[in-house]
Structure 1
Amino acid sequence: MSDIILQNLLSPVVLFFVLGIIAAIFKSDLKFPSGLSEGLSIYLLIAIGVKGGIELSHYSIDEVFAPILGALFLGVVIPLFTIFILKWMKLDTKNAIALAATYGSISIVTYGAAISFLAEVGTPYEGYMNALVVLMESPAILVSLLLLNIIENKKEVLTVSSQRMGIVPSSMKLIDKEILRESIFGKSILLLLGSLFIGLFLGESAVPMVKPLFMDLYNSVLILFLLNMGLIAGQRLPEVKKHGVKLLLFGLCTPLLYGTLGVLVGNVVGLSVGGAALMGVLAGSASYIAAPAALKSSVPEANPSIYLGLALGVTFPFNLIIGIPVYFEIAKWIQ
């Protein structure tokens, strides 16, 4: 285990991430232009989506049905677990919902780093795992916001007359249309889904065109992105300290809990060691792109320094340095 963790620590993607953290801590003037940062995000989303679609075109629905069910199961169950844990910790409802959406959704960059890790240790994985990334992005956001509306409206009852007239008070809507639109057509999910379907539709015929940019250069672009993520994570670290040791422990312990659950589910649905490890990475990661984008408009009362600070300042570096090799070792031990 120690050799695997050391190997991961000495990989270029992790070292450049650490470099970014060091730059932020010592207040270096290093920074990425906002346009470049946005461009790198778009690149990674398209690369993972189109590769997943091309790989998915090689499989029949019978082969991917069980893994898809496993991914959807995790997307629903993890937010419920998170709400239970945070209510036990006495965290207020709005921030608990925000963390449930954040930790139920996934980190596309952590997944990308895990793919690089598996390539370094020479472990194959199912190509359709890239498609499962898309499936696990939205359900947790929708489930969390649905729970928020149920909790807030649990004492309200629709009158018979309003039901007959088709009038539903806005406060009683289980989920707002704008929230649904943002969860499905937000940048992250739109690019992942769109790229996935393009890759699925074109199959191998797309490889000659997409390979030079989206496959051959993937790891190099990931290094740039993680350097930028290191800068942002380093800036977020002081915010996490303000909210106490309990939340800090939550950001460190739940990835291991959910990651182990993800590996177990991956094993149950018949994934290989590499595939089960990636399922663990998806389950143990936390979103700092799709979920915060939805939360910003739908739960404005939630504190971004909590859900973004924990996801980006604690869970992301933990998974990048320790989590990924741990989930890999758990997957090897189980199988």
Structure 2
Amino acid sequence: MDILADIATTVLSQLQKPTLAFLLGGMMLAALGSKLEVPTPVYKFVVLLLLLKVGLGAGISIREADLVSLAVPAAAAALTGIAIVLLGSRSLARLRGVSPMDGMATVGLFGAVSASTLAAAMAMLDADGIAYEGFIGALYPFMDIAALVTAILMAKMAQARSRNVIPQNGAATMALGGTGSADNDGPSENRTLVRGILTDTLQSGAISALLLGIAIGVLGRPEAVYASFYEPLFRGLLSILMLVMGMEAWSRLSELRKVAHAYVLYGLSAPLVHGAIGFGLGMIAHQLTGFSAGGIVLLAVMAASSSDISGPPTMRGALPEANPSAYVGASTGLGTPVAILSIPLWIWLADLFIGL
């Protein structure tokens, strides 16, 4: 009972913080039919500034980090993204009423990372005075790209097998837009597919802004503009983003009515399962390199989150057959709010196992 009381106290105190309060406020406004609207250009500008802030902070910290301290958490992030997709391919993608293509697109988004959720977690840790590694933002691409590439490759391969275009030693060209010529072998076509996915993902707006911030942070000296502009604006801009995400999440719930109820179950439960995977790998990194408790929390949050910026356009381009109502509805409508609301749980667990 004491443990449940501690969890309830932690959750209640965090719900009163601006980050979660604005998210719940946005959902409440949408539920009441409010006509409040944040213009799309403003929303995109807010997202751009937040991503640059996270990237700059990560880049500045990378300059001072040793290779092992960064490499182990980066490997844990990539493994987390792959593990989430593999787990989803054995669960959601095989449930009745879920097509393999829709299922893999959904698990790909849930394996990828929500920059806004990561920013929200950082703000909550900062408010509580919980330290974490400054290079955490640099882990974002490792998990994001690993999950998206794995999900899209598995979906393409499953589609090819269903069309009987991958013989024992033959080509995989039909599903990839080729002619089925014997001159092209499967591994070569798969490498081409991977390169295309990597290019599309790296060129997406979210990843591009994040990587630009990291590069400037590592190679330049942006400390002055970071401290005078990005850092002071961070929490205010984040509150606007949380408001928009709350309204968007509520509106997306209606899309889930068009698809199987399995997506509702997955959207509610997956963030907790995935967060536990990230938390466990974070604990391993803690034992190997002294990865901080705050870092473990943020790794769990990244695992619990689902991509809301870079992932959907990547899936639309790579898997046009997949139904956006399924993968966007499940991730934005349910996965994102559950992931954000679960942040206090990871903070409590880190405090329980390590101490904050």
With structure 1 as the length reference, what TM-score do the two structures score?
Answer: 0.92
- Is 1:137 aligned to residue 153 of structure 2? no
Alignment CA distance shift 1:177-1:57 (3 Å): closer
SS of the equivalent of 2:91 reads: helix
Which of 33, 45, 59 is equivalent to 1:27? 33
CA drift of 1:26 comes to 2.1
Distance 2:316 2:180 in 1: 31
2:217 match: 199
CA drift of 1:308 comes to 1.2
Which of 184, 188, 191 is equivalent to 2:206? 188
Distance 1:237 1:219 in 2: 27
- Is 1:121 aligned to residue 128 of structure 2? yes
Which of 20, 23, 26 is equivalent to 1:17? 23
Alignment CA distance shift 1:163-1:233 (3 Å): closer
Post-superposition Cα deviations, 1:200-226, rounded to whole Å, max 9, x if no partner, equal 112xx3111222221121011100111
Distance 2:153 2:170 in 1: 21
Post-superposition Cα deviations, 1:10-62, rounded to whole Å, max 9, x if no partner, equal 11121122222122222222111111111111111111111111111111112
- Contact 2:110/2:335 (CA < 8 Å) preserved in 1? no
Which of 263, 278, 286 is equivalent to 1:247? 263
Q: More deviation in 111-120 or 175-184?
A: 175-184
1:328 match: 347
1:299 match: 319
Letter of the 2:349 counterpart:
I
CA drift of 1:296 comes to 1.0
Post-superposition Cα deviations, 1:46-79, rounded to whole Å, max 9, x if no partner, equal 1111111111111111221211111111121111
CA drift of 1:284 comes to 0.9
Unaligned 5+ segments in structure 1 are: none
- Contact 1:98/1:144 (CA < 8 Å) preserved in 2? yes
1:234 match: 250
Distance 2:87 2:111 in 1: 9
Which of 270, 274, 285 is equivalent to 2:294? 274
Distance 2:81 2:352 in 1: 24
Post-superposition Cα deviations, 1:131-159, rounded to whole Å, max 9, x if no partner, equal 11222221111111111122122342365
CA drift of 1:120 comes to 2.2
1:128-167 superposed matches below 5 A? 128-154=135-161, 155=164, 156-157=166-167, 159=170, 166-167=183-184
With structure 2 as the length reference, what TM-score do the two structures score?
Answer: 0.87
2:109 match: 102
- Contact 1:260/1:330 (CA < 8 Å) preserved in 2? no
Identity percentage over the alignment?
Answer: 26
Letter of the 2:21 counterpart:
L
Distance 1:65 1:217 in 2: 30
Distance 1:44 1:193 in 2: 13
Distance 2:204 2:140 in 1: 15
User: Matched residue pairs, number?
Assistant: 331
SS of the equivalent of 2:302 reads: helix
Distance 1:74 1:178 in 2: 22
Letter of the 1:21 counterpart:
M
- Contact 2:300/2:346 (CA < 8 Å) preserved in 1? yes
Which of 72, 76, 79 is equivalent to 1:70? 76
Distance 2:144 2:150 in 1: 11
CA drift of 1:183 comes to 1.2
CA drift of 1:330 comes to 2.0
2:176 match: none
Distance 1:22 1:241 in 2: 20
Post-superposition Cα deviations, 1:90-142, rounded to whole Å, max 9, x if no partner, equal 32111111112101101111111111111222211111111112222211111
CA drift of 1:269 comes to 0.9
Letter of the 1:236 counterpart:
R
Letter of the 2:104 counterpart:
I
Distance 2:108 2:34 in 1: 33
Distance 1:300 1:277 in 2: 34
Distance 2:170 2:30 in 1: 56
- Contact 2:92/2:262 (CA < 8 Å) preserved in 1? no
The alignment's C-alpha RMSD in Å is 2.3
Letter of the 1:103 counterpart:
F
